[in-house]
Amino acid sequence: MAKTQKVSTGSVRCFFLVVVSAAALGYLLLYSVQEPSQISIKEVVPKIRNEQATSSHLNQVSKSTKYSLTQNNEQKLVSSTNGTHNPKTFLSSKPTNQSTTTPIPLTKTPNKSVLTATAYAKQLQFSLESNSHVDFSVGDTIRVVFSAKDQQNNAIITNIGDYFRASISTLQNKSGAVGIITDHQNGTYTATFRLLWEGQVKIKVQLVLPRQAIDVIERTIREHPFDKVTFRRRYLVGRVSVDTRCNIDPVVFNGTRPVCDYSDPHAGGRWYCEKAANISCEEPGYHSYILGGGAKNVLRPGEEKLVGRTQRLDISGSPSTITVANGLDILAERKRCLPGLVTPQINGFYQQGVWNSLVCHNRHFCNQLEWRSCLRGKNLHFFGDSTIRQWYEQFVKILEINDTMLPEATHQTGPLFAEDPVNNITLRYRTHGPPIRTGPTRNTNIKYIANAIDEIKGGPDDVVGLTIWSHLTANPVELYRERLEAIRAAIQRLQQRSPRTMVVIKSANTFIGGEVNGGDWLAYRFDQVMRELFEGMDVVLVDAWEMTSAQQWHKDAIHPTSDIIVQEVEFLCSFICPL
Ligand SMILES: *[C@@H]1O[C@H](CO)[C@@H](O)[C@H](O)[C@H]1NC(C)=O
Ligand SMILES: *[C@@H]1O[C@H](CO)[C@@H](O)[C@H](O)[C@H]1NC(C)=O
Ligand SMILES: *[C@@H]1O[C@H](CO)[C@@H](O)[C@H](O)[C@H]1NC(C)=O
Ligand SMILES: *[C@@H]1O[C@H](CO)[C@@H](O)[C@H](O)[C@H]1NC(C)=O
Ligand SMILES: *[C@@H]1O[C@H](CO)[C@@H](O)[C@H](O)[C@H]1NC(C)=O
Ligand SMILES: *[C@@H]1O[C@H](CO)[C@@H](O)[C@H](O)[C@H]1NC(C)=O
Ligand SMILES: *[C@@H]1O[C@H](CO)[C@@H](O)[C@H](O)[C@H]1NC(C)=O
Ligand SMILES: *[C@@H]1O[C@H](CO)[C@@H](O)[C@H](O)[C@H]1NC(C)=O
Ligand SMILES: *[C@@H]1O[C@H](CO)[C@@H](O)[C@H](O)[C@H]1NC(C)=O
């Protein structure tokens, strides 16, 4: 029953508009944050009365405790063994079949320590599953199997728990979709694809990290759970600035000074700063990230060959390209976009660079008028890292509205506010609570997401979108889980007091970064925890992970290009004004 699968004409029509609106936004790069040389000394020491004007302060500095040296050491013991505030044991969340027990030794490799990811990738080969038929059409599912082979084509390395990515694409047409990787725990892996468009389709399987590299990353987190990144609190006293160190656990301060405890168990956050002499813990200051302030040499000699910056190494295989004929109309009979829908593992695909969701009937907008009419009367509240600030920025651009910088804010952290008074649309953004790697910003600008959600009254015209991942991956995943559990509880409270408020979770996206503090493996692993925690909730999931890994025409980037962001916010709007 071969129906013609057609690109919706709307999608094609809108594509050019998207490209035009894709003029680069000047994002501040997360990992290249410039430490401002100094805060202008014109800035006066914040007055307490100013602080009281911003209600955020009260939530932020929930309590301030001075620890004596010995108390601090106790604190250190408690927090590094069984959790300061939440003494329950956390389940360690592992992606399916990525067991982290004893690594399988690399056999028949002359010198284990010099096996690089590149050398290993060269030994890997994929082929079509033996029982596959040879003609393919839209709607078919195909599988390729892969494992490492020697020159005689014998399997030589039985590596378990490697991290791969797989995709199908037709670059000329900007079509793309992901494949699902299955680790059979015996050195063989399978990538499963759904064929979703007709034409010449390229099959790609990439090694992101071999298991040995993942073991190294996980070891560095065990050995350096808190000190890979360090933060600062700065006070301005007259013309002098006084700096103290801050971190998620006071253990990194080495017990040399009293410590202020800014932790907020209600919001699932732990935060400590060294106490500055003669300055009270309540005194507001400026938060920032100390570039290069973390632990040195977390890798052992030779390991940088395994764990460098993220690389995606194509593995060879056959067939590398297949021809797909007309088949099912994949997009027929899609559901209406409503919160709470299940997101399958392959949940959409690109065609002409436009995202077609398989979750529900997603929308595309051809002009500003259509965007405006979708968003009329809506209040959008975005919380989290810079990857959701991109949504705010994109909407400001699409609606061509004024982004009013609040006097105490920075663009990086917010709070930001923009308004379209004619169409009665408001946009807000603010960053999540610490740890957050940013240039200096008032501590009061930084608020835990759970607390920010608690301040929203909610209503049928309110949309609350959040994302949190990249700034937390340098620390143990249990702390991330703690944070998300608090956010989940805040969402439940919000949905209780205002069931019609729309809640949107944006997943992580893929990116190239230092794998030890971030990078794809940690982002992926943390994202699994997020999905598990929000599963079954009445929320919208914008699967930015899939939307960034399905495309093959841009390099992975922490801040995806605006053509991708447009697909994300169109998907969001598909729920705000569903078809
Ligand atoms: C947890 O910390 C307390 C001290 O507050 C200690 O008595 C107890 O043994 C610790 N439990 C574990 C499992 O480490
Ligand atoms: C493996 O190679 C490294 C670096 O070339 C060398 O230092 C080491 O001794 C070698 N190990 C063995 C077991 O040959
Ligand atoms: C993981 O392994 C278990 C048992 O080894 C198996 O039942 C399950 O299907 C596997 N899951 C995936 C996603 O491969
Ligand atoms: C590995 O496991 C898969 C799934 O159980 C099986 O189909 C395959 O034959 C196994 N391969 C080897 C080399 O044992
Ligand atoms: C691109 O898409 C068109 C329309 O669906 C199709 O006819 C053409 O074969 C595709 N190009 C490739 C290289 O697959
Ligand atoms: C921490 O304390 C130990 C023992 O007192 C000392 O050897 C070490 O140098 C200190 N480290 C830092 C970073 O102050
Ligand atoms: C703190 O105050 C005391 C008493 O006023 C003074 O002696 C001391 O020098 C001050 N310390 C600093 C670091 O300013
Ligand atoms: C603006 O939108 C809000 C809901 O967000 C609504 O309550 C209000 O009546 C609207 N105002 C106008 C002038 O349309
Ligand atoms: C943006 O702000 C400027 C300066 O306040 C004002 O002149 C302009 O009309 C505003 N534009 C819109 C679209 O509100």
**pLDDT tens figures, 422-462:** 999 999 999 999 999 999 999 999 999 999 999 999 999 99
pLDDT of residue 246: 96
CA of 242 to the centre of ligand 7 (A): 13
Nearest CA to ligand 8 atom 4: 377
* Candidate from 94, 96, 184 with most ligand 3 atoms within 8 A of CB, to mutate: 96
Q: Give every strand in the sheet of 240-247, ordered side by side.
A: 259-261, 272-274, 240-247, 230-237, 286-290, 441-442
Which residues, 6 or more positions from 33, have their beta carbon under 8 angstroms from its beta carbon? 289, 291, 412, 437, 438, 439
Report phi then psi at 147, rounded to 5.
-165, 170
> Pick from 167, 163, 178: which is nearest to 203 by CA?
167
CA of 543 to the centre of ligand 9 (A): 34
Measured CA to CA, the distance from residue 21 to residue 563 in angstroms comes to 8
pLDDT of residue 35: 30
Cα R_g (the chain), whole angstroms: 25
285: confidence class by pLDDT, cuts 50, 70, 90: very high
CA of 181 to the centre of ligand 3 (A): 11
Which of helix, strand or coil describes residue 523? helix
Measured CA to CA, the distance from residue 331 to residue 196 in angstroms comes to 9
* Candidate from 376, 426, 461, 498 with most ligand 8 atoms within 8 A of CB, to mutate: 461
CA distances from 62 to 55, 57, 282, 554, 559 (A): 12, 8, 9, 43, 33
Q: Are 43 and 236 in contact (CB under 8 A)?
A: yes
> Mean pLDDT throughout 385-404?
96
200 lines ligand 2 (CB under 6 A): no
pLDDT, tens digit, for every residue of 303-313? Answer: 887 786 667 89
Distance of CA 252 to the CA centre of its chain: 26
Query: Of 547 and 404, which is predicted with more confidence?
Result: 547
CA distances from 486 to 173, 376, 456 (A): 43, 31, 15
pLDDT of residue 310: 60
> Pick from 526, 479, 475, 435: which is nearest to 83 by CA?
479
Structure tokens at 292: 């290069």
pLDDT of residue 398: 98
**For residue 461, which atom of ligand 8 is closest to its CA?**
5
Measured CA to CA, the distance from residue 514 to residue 310 in angstroms comes to 6
Measured CA to CA, the distance from residue 490 to residue 451 in angstroms comes to 8
Q: Are 406 and 444 in contact (CB under 8 A)?
A: no
Q: Ligand 5: residues whose CB is within 6 Å?
A: 170, 172-173, 198-200
> Mean pLDDT throughout 524-553?
96
Q: Ligand 7: residues whose CB is within 6 Å?
A: 277-278
Measured CA to CA, the distance from residue 94 to residue 179 in angstroms comes to 20
CA of 77 to the centre of ligand 1 (A): 9
Which of helix, strand or coil describes residue 341? coil
Q: Are 106 and 155 in contact (CB under 8 A)?
A: no
CA of 104 to the centre of ligand 3 (A): 18
Q: Are 169 and 199 in contact (CB under 8 A)?
A: no
Is it the case that residue 500 has pLDDT exceeding 90? yes
CA of 423 to the centre of ligand 7 (A): 56
Measured CA to CA, the distance from residue 169 to residue 178 in angstroms comes to 9
Q: Quickly list DSSP for 370-416.
A: HHHHHHTT-EEEEEESHHHHHHHHHHHHHHT-EEEEEEEEETTTEEE
Structure tokens at 37: 């040389």
Token match 């009329």: residue?
376
Q: Give every strand in the sheet of 124-128, ordered side by side.
A: 180-183, 189-194, 141-148, 124-128, 316-318
- Pseudo-torsion of CA 31, 417, 509, 502, nearest 10°? 150
Q: For the chain, which domains are there?
A: 42-89+231-289 (no CATH), 117-216+306-325 (2.60.40.10), 351-436+443-576 (3.40.50.1110)
23: confidence class by pLDDT, cuts 50, 70, 90: very low
Judging by beta carbons within 10 Å of its beta carbon (0-12, 13-18, 19+), is residue 553 exposed, middle or buried? middle
pLDDT, tens digit, for every residue of 328-372? Answer: 899 998 999 999 999 999 999 999 999 999 999 999 999 999 999
Is it the case that residue 15 has pLDDT exceeding 70? no
Structure tokens at 468: 């949190």
Distance of CA 460 to the CA centre of its chain: 27
Token match 């599988």: residue?
143
pLDDT, tens digit, for every residue of 28-87? Answer: 333 333 333 333 322 222 222 332 323 332 222 222 222 222 222 222 222 222 233 332
Partner residues linked to 456 by β-bridges: none
As a whole number of angstroms, the longest Cα–Cα distance in the chain is 79
Amino acid at 340: G
> Mean pLDDT throughout 82-104?
31
Q: What is the pTM of this model?
A: 0.79
Nearest CA to ligand 9 atom 4: 402
Give the ranges where 154-270 is alpha helix by DSSP (H): 211-223
> Pick from 76, 55, 35, 47: which is nearest to 272 by CA?
76
Is it the case that residue 151 has pLDDT exceeding 70? yes
158: confidence class by pLDDT, cuts 50, 70, 90: low
Range ranked top by mean pLDDT from 76-90, 415-429, 503-517: 415-429
129 lines ligand 4 (CB under 6 A): no
Nearest CA to ligand 7 atom 1: 278
pLDDT of residue 303: 83
Q: Are 504 and 538 in contact (CB under 8 A)?
A: no
CA of 252 to the centre of ligand 1 (A): 20
Which residues, 6 or more positions from 333, have their beta carbon under 8 angstroms from its beta carbon? none
For β-strands 230-237 and 240-247, DSSP reports them as antiparallel
Half-sphere exposure of 536 (CA within 13 A, CB side): 2
